[in-house]
Amino acid sequence: MISKRILTFFAAAFLSIGASVARPDEGMWLPMLLKQLNEAEMQQKGMKLTAEDIYSVNQSSLKDAIVSFGGFCTGEMISPEGLLLTNHHCGYGSVQQHSTVENDYLTDGFWAKTREQELPNPGLTATFIVRMEDVTQQILAGTEGAKTEADREATIQRNISKVSKAATNGTHYDAVIRPFFYGNEYYMYITETFKDVRLVGAPPSSIGKFGGDTDNWMWPRHTGDFSLFRVYAGPNNEPAEYSPENKPYKPKHHLPISLSGVEEGDFTMVFGFPGRTNEYLTSQAVKEIYEVSNPHKINIRETKLNILDKDMKASDEVRIKYAAKYASIANAWKKWIGENRGIRKANAIEEKQNLERLFTQWVSADAARQQKYGNLMAEFDKNYKALDGITISRDYINEAAFGVEIVRLANNFTTLQRLLEQKAPQSDIDAQVAKLEAYATDYFKDYNAPSDKKVFAALLSLYYNNIDKEMHPEVFKMVRSKYKGDFTKYADDVFEKSAFASAAGVKEVLADARKGKDAIKKDPAFELASSVADYYRENIMPTYTEVNDNLSLLYRKYMAGLREMQQDKTFYPDANSTLRVAYGIVEPYEPVDGIKYKYYTTLEGVMEKAASGIAEDYAIPAKLRELYEKKDYGRYGMNGEMPVGFIASNHTTGGNSGSPIINANGQLIGINFDRNWEGTMSDIVYNPDQVRNISVDARYVLFIIDKFAGAGHLVEEMTLVTDDTSGLPQVDARRQDSDKKSKKDKKKKRKDKKKKKEKAEA
C-alpha cells in the first residue's frame, strides 16, 4: 500500500502541471572565466562586484569562503572563527551518527554552547579551492597519434599524474584535474582539505526537514534546511587530523550576512560544487532515460520506500537507524518523477531531434565537415541500440539486487573470500579483515534485519518478474526450481542461514578468516551477491563499457561540432563536482494557468501547514509556535513577518546543496537547498519557463539560531550587515571612494546652486 506521504505528494504533483512565463538564467560557469564570458551580463543584472572580486589568486575573493563539504555538498565560511554553514540534509548523516535513543539529536536538535561541546566527525572534510588553471595543452600533449581511445586515455592519465605532481610538489595541497566538454578541455583545481570538521549546531528535524517527503522538490517551501559546523586547523592555520589541540580555522574571507533581505528582481549568485549534469545528451539518450530507465527505477524505489516507511513509523529505533537512508532513497525517487514530467513538458526529445537535424544539415553543407562529422549521428543511433536490454538490466542490478542491504554487505566480502581461496599471505588477509571489521561496525549501527528481509523479497521479486529470463543471473534458476519463484520463502531461508544477517554472524566469519578458514563462499547471501556480480561482470559490463567508450568519443566530436556550428553561442561545461558560479534574479513563477507563486514564504505558512493535519511532515516544535504567536522575531523579521524561504532563477543541481545565495554586494542572503519540482529536468534539458532554485532565507537561519535555540553566542561571531559592506577590502574601499566622490559631487552641486541663486538675485 502506498503511504500517506506518497499519496500527498502525488496530489500536489498533479496539481502543478502547466506552463510558466519566467525566464531563468541557464549555465554553471567556471569562476576563472567570468571576466571574459559573464562579468558584463552579471553587472547588467545588478551585480556590484567584478569578476576579480569573485575569483582571484592575488587577493581575497568570494571563492575563499566557499568549501566542498564532504565532497557531496557545498558549505560557506560565515565567521572569522571557522564557522561553516551548510544544509541540514548535508549535515544529517553527522547528526545521525551522534544520535541515540537517549540523545535524539535528529528529533531534538543539537547546539554546542561551548567549543568543547562541538562534536568531531571522522572522515568529514572541508575543501577550499586555492586556484584554477587551464591545463588543456599539457594534458592532451601526445594524444594526436593515439590509435585507440584506450591509448589516448592512457596518455591523458600519465599527463594528469605528471602535471598534478608538478603543481603540488613541496606543498600540502592536492590537485584535481577534470575533463570539460567531454574531454575537449581540461582544468586543474589546486585544493586545500581540512580534516577536522566538528558539528556545532542543527535544528530539530521538525524545522530542518519541515515538510519532509511531501514538500521535497516543491514550492512553496518552509524548510529551515541548515546546520552549522566548524573547521579546525593545526599549527600555522593549516590542515591537520583531529586533535583537541587544534584551533578554529581563520579563513581568508567569510561572508557577511545581510539583514536587508530580498526583493523581486534582486541579483543573486550561487557559488558551489554542482555534481553532475548532462545538458548535451542526444535524443536517443534522453529517450532511454524517459522511457526505460526512470520508470523502472521509480517503481523499485517506491516499493522500498513503502516498506521502510511502515517499519519506521512502528519503531523509534528503526526510524533513527533508517532516517538518512530513507531520505536519500526518497530524494532520487521524487527527482526522477519530476525529471520525467519535465522532459515531457519541455518537449525535450523532439527539441533534441530538431537540433540534430540542424547539425546534420550543417555537416552536409561542407565537404570538410562531412569528413569530420559525417557519420556521427548514425553512430550514436547504432550505439544506443546496442544498449537495448543492457541499461534496464544494469538498473535492476544496482537498484533492486544491490538495493538490498544484506546483498550489498555480502558483496563487500568478495576480496576477502578471494584472498582466502588463493591462500594469500596472512598479512594481506588480516589487513582486509581489519577494513571489514570497521565497515561492519558502522553498517550494523544503522541496520534492521526484519526490514531488510522484506525489502529483499519485494525487490528481488521485481527483478525476477520485470527482466527477461534470458537476462537472469544463475541464482534465479535455483529460486525457480527450489522455491517456485517465491522470494518470500527464499528470503526466509537466506536470513535464517546467512552469517551476514547479524553482527555476531559477521564477527564470526571475520574471526574464521583470521584463522585462514573460508566461511564466506557457501553463505547463501554471498552466493546470491556473487551470482549477480558475476552476471553483471560477464554479460552486462562488457557491452556497457564498450558502448560508453564509443559514446565518449562520439560526444567529444559532437560537442566540438556544436561549438563550431554555433559560434555565436556561449557554451558552459556540464557540472562535474568542480567549483562553479550560477546567477539569476529573485522572481516568482506560474506553475499552472491562473496560479502565480510568490517569490518568498513566511513563518505564517509554516503554521498553516502545521494546521493541515499531515502531522508526520508538518509537526512543529511548541517553542516555534510560541515565537510566532508572540511575533517575537527580534531583528530578523520584516514588517511583522518572519521570512523563511525564497526562489530565484539560478541554474543548480545536486552538490549545490548548501551553496550560498549571494547578493549584488557579495553578502549572504540565503542557502540553496532544492529546486522546484517543475525544474528537476534541468540536469538534462533546460526549460527557461520552469526552473527555480529554492533557498532558506538567511534571516530565518539567524532567527532559529538566536531566538529559537538560544545560541546567540554563534550569531555574535558572525558579521551581520544592513549596508553594502562586502567584507572584501578592495570592494569596500571602492565603495568608500565612491561614497566620498558622491558626497563631494553633491556638495559641489549645492555650492553651484547657491552661487547661481545669489547671482540671479543680484
- Residue 16, SS3? coil
How confident is the prediction for the chain on average, in pLDDT? 93
pLDDT at position 615 is 63
Structural domain spans, the chain: 4-125+195-278+574-720, 283-300+348-564, 732-762
Number of Cα atoms under 13 Å in the Cβ half of residue 394: 18
Amino acid identity for residue 388 in this structure:
D
What pLDDT digit, counting tens, does each position of 303-330 carry?
999 999 999 999 999 998 998 899 889 9
The stretch 580-605 carries a mean pLDDT of 91
Give residue 150's pLDDT band: very low, low, confident or very high (50, 70, 90). Answer: confident
Give residue 14's pLDDT band: very low, low, confident or very high (50, 70, 90). Answer: very low
Out of 225, 395, 452, 724, the active site residue is: 225
Segment among 44-53, 508-517, 590-599 with least mean pLDDT? 590-599
Q: What is the pTM of this model?
A: 0.84
* 659 is annotated as an active-site residue: no
pLDDT at position 111 is 98
Residues 6+ apart with CB under 8 A from 377: 282, 356, 359, 360
Segment among 5-9, 13-17, 188-192 with least mean pLDDT? 13-17
Give residue 743's pLDDT band: very low, low, confident or very high (50, 70, 90). Answer: low
pLDDT at position 323 is 85
pLDDT at position 254 is 98
Q: Which helix (H) or strand (E) holds 252?
A: none
Please confirm whether the linkage preceding 244 is cis (ω < 30° from 0).
Answer: no
The stretch 402-412 carries a mean pLDDT of 98
Out of 61, 283, 657, 682, the active site residue is: 657
DSSP for residue 707: I
Give residue 704's pLDDT band: very low, low, confident or very high (50, 70, 90). Answer: very high
* 61 is annotated as an active-site residue: no
Separation of alpha carbons 112 and 100, rounded Å = 17
- Top pLDDT among 687 and 372 is at 372
The stretch 96-109 carries a mean pLDDT of 92
For 271, the grid coordinates are 557559488
* 225 is annotated as an active-site residue: yes
What pLDDT digit, counting tens, does each position of 572-587 carry?
999 999 999 999 999 9
CATH class of the 4-125+195-278+574-720 domain in this structure: mainly beta
